Structure 1
Amino acid sequence: MTGSFRKMAGGGGCVAVLAACLVALATGAEIHRNERGKTMIPGNSVINLGQQTNTWRPLAKTTANLTDVRSIKSTFEFRTFDPEGVVFYGDNHSGDEWFILALHGGVPEIQIYKADILVSVTGGPRLDDGQWHLMEVSTEGKFVLLEVDGSKALTVGLHSQKVKEVITGQLRLALGGILIDSSRLLVPLRPEMDGCVRAGSWLDLTEPWEMVEGGAELRPCLEAIQRGSYFPGSGFAVFNVSALRIEAPKGGVDIVLGGDFAQMNGTLLSLRGGDHALALSLEINNHSQTMLLTYGKTEITTSTITDKLRLIFRERFFAVSYDGDYIIDSATDQTVEQSIWREGQLAIGGLLGEEEDAVGSNFLVGCLEKVVVQGKQLDMDLSDKDVSISSHSCPVR
C-alpha cells in the first residue's frame, strides 16, 4: 500500500489516502441493503455520526483497492457542538499504518502511525460551534494538510526510512470510530462524535459505505440545532456517582438543570443509592405545567416552570430554587445519605427502578441545555446512555 501511495504522492504513505479519503456526504442519496442485510449508503450521503451502540466501533466503513485511488485530495462539510470525538479513520488492511481525524478541545487533531513513527498534532480553529465548516485534506510530498474554510489549519510532516515498498493492497475507511485497538492511540480521547458530515468528495472513489450497525435506521441530520442534550423519549443516561467524584461536605450537594422546561415532558432526573432504593425523582408535565418531586416518602407538586432549576441537598433539608427563590422548600427528617454520593446512581431523563436492572418508562422528551453537579458540567458521553440521546445537540423549535 505504501509503495503505491509513494508513487502517487512522493512518500506520504497511506497517510494522505487515509486523511483525504474519508468524506463524501450529500443529500438525496439512495439507501439500500446488500445480500448480508447490511444498510449501504452512497458516498454522497449525509450521515449523523452520533448513533453507534458501541463506543469505538465505527458507524460506517468501506474498503477500496489502492489501485482504484485516483485523487489525493478530499473535501467535506462538517458540523458539531461536540468538543471531542472521532470524525474518521483509515488504514491499510492489516492496520500497519493508520490515520485518525478527530476533535480534541473543539479543535482538529490528527493522529498518524506509519512504520516506526507515531505522531499527534492538534491545532486550528474551534469547530464545535454548530456551524457547517468546509474541510479539505490533501498531501504535498511528505506533508498532510488540513484546511478549514479555505485557510490552512494543520500541516503534518512525516517520513520514515523503514517504509516497505508495497504497490498493491486495500484501504479500510471508517466514519465515527476506529478499526484498531484504542490502546494504540498516542493521545487518548473519547470517540463519540455528535456531529454530521455532508457534501463530500472521497478521492473519486465510488464504493458505497456499509453501516456497521447492520439494518439500523439512520438518524437524520437536522437543519437547525442548538447546544444541549436531546432526549427523544426512548431512553435515559445513567451516571455512577462514584465516577463523578462528588465531594459531599457538610455544605451539601448542588445540582443545576437548565433548559426550557415548558417544552419538556417526563422525568428530568432520579437518584438511587447503592441498595437500589429510589431516593429522589423530579418529573415534569408540560400539559399541566407542573413538576412533581418525590423525595423519599414525600411528594411535592408545584406549578412553577422555569428555565433554570437548582436542587439543594443539605443535612435535614432539601430545596428546589429558581433565581434564589425556593419553589420547593422542605425541612425534613429524611436526608440523602452521604453514601449515595459515593455508591449511588444519577439518571438524567428517566426513572431509576428499585431493582438493579429496573427502569421506569417515563422517559424525558426535550432538550436539557445543561446539567451541572457541584459546579461541573456533565458530559452525556461519559454516561451509560441510550443510543437515541444526542449528547451535545438539540433541534431548534
Structure 2
Amino acid sequence: MGFPAGLLVLLSVGALPCQPITHGDSAKQDGHCFQVLPAEEGALNIGRHWGAATPAATVHIDMSKVTSTASSFEFRTLDPEGVIFFGDMGDHDWFVLGLRRGKAEMQINNIMTNISVRGGQRLDDGHWHRMLVMNEGDSVRLEVDDEELLALGHVSYPIIERPVPEMRLAMGGLLLPASHLLSPMNTAMDGCLRRWSWLNQTTTWREGAALRAKAKPCFSALRPGSFFPGAGLASFRPADLAGGTAPPNGSWGLEVELGIRAPRQTGLVLAVGVPDGSLALSLVLQPTAMVVRLGNWTKLRLPLPEGPCLDAPLRLRVSPTQLALQLGNHGGTLPNQPPDFQWLQGTWLGQEGRLFIGGLPDGDKTPRPQEWGAFRGCLRGIRVQGHQLDLDSALFRSDTIWAHSCPGAHEGAEAGRRARGHGAD
C-alpha cells in the first residue's frame, strides 16, 4: 500500500516543559552574552542524536480512529540537512520529510512508487515556518507558510482506506537503517517543532517522562553558530578534513579562524593531540585571557577585551617559525621552538591526530591541567586551513551540542521569526 506522505507529521501531544539552559550563578553570567536563556514553551528539539538515525521521539497512531488526512506543524532550523520526521505503515511502506541544502525533500517508498523529490525556497533561515502535509487520493502535497511547495501525483492512495492497525512516526530520525533511504542523507537535524497537529489524534510520546527529563530546550531566538553548553566536545581526524594533508611544496602551517561569544570562564576552545597522548596545541579561554600553548616551550597569552562577555573574531596561525594569535583588534606573536612545531606538524599529518573542539575526551589518557573545563558558549564560522568546518561531519560529536544554532538576543515574542540566520556555520 502507498504510504501517506501527509500523515507523517507530529501528533498533538502534551507540551514539553520550559527548561532554561543555565542555572544559578552561570545564568546571571551568561545573561550578558545570551539574552535568551529560557526555552521556547511547548517546542520539541529534534536534534538529540548524532551519528545514528535514532529518533528524538516516536509516537504510534491508531489508524482506526483517523478521520483526517492532513497534518501540520511549525518548524525552525539553521541546519541545511537532516530528517524532520519519518513515518511507516509496514516494512516497505514509508515516508521521509527532511532538508537537503536547505530545501524540503520528500522520499516515498511503497508498492506504487519509490521517489525522492526536493524543491522550493530554503527553509534553514532560523524562522518558524508553518508546514502542512496532506494525502489527497493518490497524491501527496506539502505546503509551507500557506503556499504549495511540492505536489506529487500517483504516488499513494487514501490512508483512511488502508487496512493497517497503526502508523509509526519518528521525529528527527528513522525507524529503518539510513542505508535504506532512496537518497542518502545526514540524518542529524538541529531543529525544533511546535504547534503540531497529527491527523485528528491526541497521543503521547512513547518516551514519556524520559523524553521530558532529557529533552534539549529550543531557544526562543536563534543566531548562527554552534552552541557548546559546557559539557561535551566534537572531534575530527585532520587527515579527513579539506586541507588536512601536507601541501605539495612541503611548507606546512596551521590556520584556524572562528567567531567566539562566551562569558568569562575557563574552558578549552580547541586542541590538537592524539587520543592517548599529550596535546601538541591547546587554546584555552580563561577569565582574563586567551592562552595558546604550542608543545612544551611556546606559550602565548592575550588579555581579553573589557566587558563581561567576549564577542570577537579569533585567528590562530602556526608557521614553522612563529605562533600568532589575533582576538578582535588585538594580537600577539611568539617565535616557535622547532621541536614544538615539529610535534604539532607530525600530530596533524599523522593518522592518529585529532582536532578537539570545545573539550577533551573523558578519562585520564590525555594529560591536561585539571582546572580546564569544557567550553561554554557559541562558536561561529569555524574555518580550518581555509575550509568551513561542519560539526555534522565530525568523527565524534556529543549530543549535548547544538551543531548549527546558538541562543540569540531577545527581541520579543516574534524573535524567532525575525532572526537573521543565513545558513549554518
Q: TM-score, normalised by structure 1?
A: 0.84
State the partner residue of 1:62.
59
Conserved 8 A contact 2:11-2:199 = no
Deviations 1:214-249 (A, max 9, x none): 454212212111111001101111112222141332
Specify whether residues 394 and 314 from structure 1 end up closer, same or farther in structure 2 by C-alpha distance, changes over 3 A only. same
Q: Which moved more, 1:241-250 or 1:257-266?
A: 257-266
State the partner residue of 2:261.
260
Q: Which moved more, 1:327-336 or 1:125-134?
A: 327-336
SS in 2 for 1:211: coil
Aligned length: 367
State the partner residue of 2:100.
104
Specify whether residues 30 and 272 from structure 1 end up closer, same or farther in structure 2 by C-alpha distance, changes over 3 A only. closer
Conserved 8 A contact 2:280-2:347 = no
Q: How does 1:76-87 map to 2 (within 5 A)?
A: 76-87=73-84
Deviations 1:128-163 (A, max 9, x none): 1111001011123222111111111111223489xx
Q: How does 1:171-190 map to 2 (within 5 A)?
A: 171-190=167-186
State the partner residue of 1:9.
none
Residues 1:396 and 2:408 aligned together: yes
Conserved 8 A contact 1:291-1:304 = yes
State the partner residue of 1:291.
290
Conserved 8 A contact 1:47-1:220 = yes
Q: Which moved more, 1:96-105 or 1:310-319?
A: 310-319
Residues 1:368 and 2:379 aligned together: yes
Conserved 8 A contact 1:259-1:367 = yes
SS in 2 for 1:111: strand
Residue identity opposite 1:394 in structure 2: C
Q: How does 1:132-147 map to 2 (within 5 A)?
A: 132-147=128-143
Conserved 8 A contact 1:25-1:46 = no
Residue identity opposite 1:14 in structure 2: F
Specify whether residues 129 and 300 from structure 1 end up closer, same or farther in structure 2 by C-alpha distance, changes over 3 A only. same
| CA distance in 1 between partners of 2:14 and 2:222 (Å) | 17
| CA distance in 2 between partners of 1:199 and 1:391 (Å) | 23
Conserved 8 A contact 1:130-1:225 = yes
SS in 1 for 2:7: helix
Q: CA deviation at 1:342?
A: 3.8
Q: How does 1:139-178 map to 2 (within 5 A)?
A: 139-159=135-155, 167-178=163-174
| CA distance in 1 between partners of 2:378 and 2:108 (Å) | 37
| CA distance in 1 between partners of 2:259 and 2:12 (Å) | 34
Q: CA deviation at 1:324?
A: 9.0
Q: CA deviation at 1:357?
A: 6.8
Conserved 8 A contact 2:277-2:367 = no
Conserved 8 A contact 1:293-1:299 = yes
Q: How does 1:1-397 map to 2 (within 5 A)?
A: 2=1, 13-16=2-5, 19-24=6-11, 28=15, 45-52=42-49, 55-92=52-89, 94-115=90-111, 117-159=113-155, 167-211=163-207, 214=210, 216-245=213-242, 246-249=244-247, 250-260=251-261, 265-273=266-274, 276-285=277-286, 287-288=287-288, 290-297=289-296, 298-305=298-305, 307-322=312-327, 326-333=331-338, 334-335=340-341, 336-343=344-351, 344-351=353-360, 356=365, 362-383=373-394, 384-397=396-409
Q: CA deviation at 1:91?
A: 0.4
Specify whether residues 330 and 156 from structure 1 end up closer, same or farther in structure 2 by C-alpha distance, changes over 3 A only. farther
Specify whether residues 102 and 351 from structure 1 end up closer, same or farther in structure 2 by C-alpha distance, changes over 3 A only. same
Structure 1 unpaired stretches of 5+: 3-12, 32-43
SS in 1 for 2:206: strand
Q: CA deviation at 1:371?
A: 1.1
Deviations 1:72-97 (A, max 9, x none): 111110001111111000001x3221
Specify whether residues 277 and 28 from structure 1 end up closer, same or farther in structure 2 by C-alpha distance, changes over 3 A only. closer
Specify whether residues 352 and 207 from structure 1 end up closer, same or farther in structure 2 by C-alpha distance, changes over 3 A only. closer
Cα RMSD for the two superposed structures: 2.9
| CA distance in 2 between partners of 1:379 and 1:25 (Å) | 34
| CA distance in 2 between partners of 1:292 and 1:390 (Å) | 25
Conserved 8 A contact 1:260-1:307 = yes
Deviations 1:236-281 (A, max 9, x none): 1111222214133215231112123566651110101477331010
Conserved 8 A contact 2:278-2:366 = no
Compare the two structures and name the one with the higher strand fraction: 1
Q: Which moved more, 1:143-152 or 1:251-260?
A: 251-260
Q: CA deviation at 1:332?
A: 2.5
Q: Bigger relative contact order, structure 1 or 2, given CA contacts below 8 A and separation 6+? A: 2
SS in 2 for 1:209: coil
SS in 2 for 1:269: strand
Conserved 8 A contact 1:25-1:198 = no
Conserved 8 A contact 1:318-1:332 = no
